[in-house]
Amino acid sequence: MDDFDWNLIKSFLAVAETGSLSAAARRLKASQPTLGRHVTELEDRLGVTLFERIPRGMILTDAGSALLDHARRIAADTAALSMTATGASQEVAGTVRIAASQIVAHLLLPDIVTALRRAEPGLQVEIVASNQIQNLLTRDADIAIRMTEPAQAELISKKIAVVAMGAFASPSYLENAPPLQAPEDLLHHAIVGYDRDDLIIQGFQAMGWKLTRDFFPVRTDDQVLHWRMVEAGAGIGFNQLYAGLQSPRVVRILPDLPLPPLHMHLAVHRELRTSLRIRRAYDFLAAALSALPLATGA
């Protein structure tokens, strides 16, 4: 294969990671017919079938899966060689797409991203504020801040913080509310709940109380709106301890309430660690988030 065209590997990798010719074409800014020809030519050269063609996309065969890791190493080596040859390793510029939950995005990222942009003015930052886990393998984001460790072997994940949780209420709510001295007193209070997310219900079940969604007089899956309702006095709510203590509109209640902590992970695609802009943003986020007193709140 002295005359091997490495663009075939690039096209194969894009189709394998996105799952379709159309998504791969968008990533590479190429046409679908071109990518289709590349995949067919690579299969002909190797003498194997790399993909199963299905109505909704392309699925790797066993032979394709075996080639995938080799293709990623080739892509990473090629990217590193290109950076060295062009001197791009000395310049931090381009776009970085960061995914985080709504609470993390709204309450933690503004100061951090502003500081990142001051340190690296050549970077452009896109923030995906969503409670849905964004798929790094299909490039929904370059970097993800998650409260669960990703299971995909293709991702690099670093645990950067233990996040303590707390219960909060506004003084206006507590002024006319029943006594609140023990965890069981929560059953006689208005709790701002989630709509379809059962996380809070699971938390009550862990404490021995089986509740339904009807127990919560106000319900929303929008985490920011949920928190704003607590600040407005609609009832008691739960939040990351550090974020909750930053609000002048609420006070912490039941500090001994046994709320399990969250574990914050920073995830990035293994291939993208060869990109200087991704590596710089990743390291900056890790340092900034690790420096926050997320485990103690203050």
Please give the residue that has the higher pLDDT: either 75 or 163.
163
Residue 272 banded pLDDT, cuts 50, 70, 90: low
Burial class (CB in 10 A: 0-12, 13-18, 19+), 86: exposed
Task: Please state the rounded mean pLDDT for residues 176-204.
Answer: 92
The pLDDT of residue 81: 57
Superfamily designation of domain 165-253: Periplasmic binding protein-like II (3.40.190.10)
Q: How far apart are CA 211 and CA 237, in angstroms?
A: 16
Q: How far apart are CA 28 and CA 157, in angstroms?
A: 26
| In contact, 216 and 154? CB cutoff 8 Å | no
Question: Does the fold of domain 165-253 match that of domain 94-159+262-291?
Answer: yes
- Which run of H or E residues covers position 218? strand 218-219
Task: Please state the rounded mean pLDDT for residues 242-265.
Answer: 92
The pLDDT of residue 156: 79
CATH level 3 topology of 94-159+262-291: D-Maltodextrin-Binding Protein; domain 2 (3.40.190)
Evaluate if residue 168 carries a pLDDT over 90: yes
Q: How far apart are CA 93 and CA 20, in angstroms?
A: 29
Evaluate if residue 89 carries a pLDDT over 50: no
Please give the residue that has the higher pLDDT: either 209 or 77.
209
CA separation, residue 45 to residues 15, 25, 50, 52 (Å): 17, 22, 11, 17
Spans of all domains in the chain? 7-88, 94-159+262-291, 165-253
The pLDDT of residue 54: 85
Q: Do the bridges between strand 262-269 and strand 143-146 make them parallel or antiparallel, or are there none, so unpaired? A: antiparallel
Architecture of domain 7-88: Orthogonal Bundle (1.10)
Please state the separation of Cα 223 from the chain's center in Å. 15
Digit-coded pLDDT (tens) for 34-70: 989 999 999 999 999 999 888 888 888 988 888 887 7
